[in-house]
Amino acid sequence: MKKLFVLVVAVIASYAAQAQTTFGIKGALNYSNLSGDLKDETRFNNKLGFAGGLYLNVPAVGDFFSIQPEVLYSNKGFKYDDETYTDPLKLHTYRKEGTANFNYLDVPVLARVKAGGFFFEAGPQVSYLIGVNDKTKTYVDDKLEDSKTSSKSKEGYSDFEVGYAAGLGFATQGGISLGLRYNGAFSDLTDDSPARGDFKDARHSLFQLSVGFPISR
């Protein structure tokens, strides 16, 4: 995966050096959850994550219209709360809460329209699931008893996700940009495996606030 990322960086940088394009880096804050026909929907809560990577803006019609492919590492997922329960002797009360993290390599290809410093962008996105992990906290009588992060198997989850992105933003004359984007998915989070039955018909959904910095123009 690291070799693939380095290769992508090299190809983009080489292309940017030969054409009138803008090559840059961006960082983003994700506000994500699941959408779709979920079982016990109230169990799923929004969570904060992060994204970061590279972009290449290629002018197509003057400064008005351009194409912008990106390669981003993106942390998606949700928070969850398990029901509180008491042991049979009613001596202690237990509660568990956690954060489910789905780490993806996102590749959106966006059409961008500019009007002055403002821009609107939209286009398809393909994502590859790199890994899954859970951060869980266990409370006993409302006191933190245990906190841990554990990797989860990708079995039952779809390796690839097909979706879309749309948003708007503002870019300075120096090329620094601030954007707000919505990412949705056409494909389900899981395959048809019964191992992930609780997530049948579930799809990733998130808002993304990003800042971009040009490296070459």
Q: Which two tokens stand for residue 61?
A: 């019609």
Residue whose C-alpha is closest to residue 36's, from 129, 131, 163, 148: 163
The pLDDT, as a whole number, for residue 38 is: 73
The pLDDT, as a whole number, for residue 191 is: 76
**What domains does the chain contain, in order, with CATH numbers?**
2-216 (2.40.160.20)
Query: How many angstroms separate the Cα of 1 from the Cα of each of 14, 104, 155, 162?
Result: 20, 12, 19, 20
Any residues with CB less than 8 A from the CB of 197 and at least 6 apart, and which?
none
27-41 tens-digit pLDDT: 999 999 998 877 777
The pLDDT, as a whole number, for residue 6 is: 53
The pLDDT, as a whole number, for residue 16 is: 47
The pLDDT, as a whole number, for residue 85 is: 63
Q: Which residues of the chain have pLDDT under 70?
A: 1-19, 83-85, 87, 89, 146, 192-198, 217
The pLDDT, as a whole number, for residue 198 is: 67
Which 8-state DSSP code applies to residue 192? Answer: S
Compute the distance between CA of residue 182 and CA of residue 209 in angstroms, rounded to an integer.
9
Gyration radius of the chain over CA positions: 20
